[in-house]
Amino acid sequence: MYVWLKFAKLLNKGGKMDIDCWVCNGSEPKAFTKKCKIHDVCETKRAGITGIPWGTRTGFICQTCETKRIGQAISDFEKEYHDKWDFKHNDEIKCPFCGYEYYSDELYESTDSEECPNCNNLMVVDVDYSVSYSTYKP
């Protein structure tokens, strides 16, 4: 059923579903499996690819494209005005390099070596706790 829903979405976008594409058919990637033109989206020409391309939710990407994506995210974020208060007392962790916001269930105390999952830069994270009180009559 899931494969046919993906097929319908691709047709609505004017694309074709390739049943041999492991992304289209929802299967796990295996050695020498085929990818369709829709999901093989790395923008770098084969001669310019360094390292091994890897799959993401949006398709395949190489180190060159990933470096360009990170640089673009940081550049776009730096064009906007931000002061130190944009990064204090937030409900989520906000990267001061690229602006990516995420929640962490694993971070209970401050750390000086948290890596941003979007741009891979190291940042200092201070965990703030607030105390509130409730009262009632006995």
User: Comparing C-alpha atoms, which of 34, 42, 40, 11 is closest to residue 3?
Assistant: 11
pLDDT at 57 over 50: yes
The pLDDT > 90 percentage for the chain reads 20
DSSP class of 87: G
Domain boundaries of the chain, sorted by first residue: 1-38, 41-80, 90-138
Q: Indicate the residue type of 102.
A: Y
Read off the pLDDT of each residue in 25-33 and give the average, rounded to a whole number. 64
Q: Specify the higher pLDDT residue, 78 or 129.
A: 78
pLDDT of residue 130: 82
pLDDT of residue 34: 65
pLDDT in tens, 81-109: 988 888 888 889 999 999 999 888 777 77
User: Where does the pLDDT of residue 3 fall: very low under 50, low under 70, confident under 90, or very high at 90 and above?
Assistant: very low
Q: Are 59 and 65 in contact (CB under 8 A)?
A: no
Long-range contacts at 37-41 (CB < 8 A, ≥ 24 apart): 38/10
Most confident of 31-45, 49-63, 87-101: 87-101
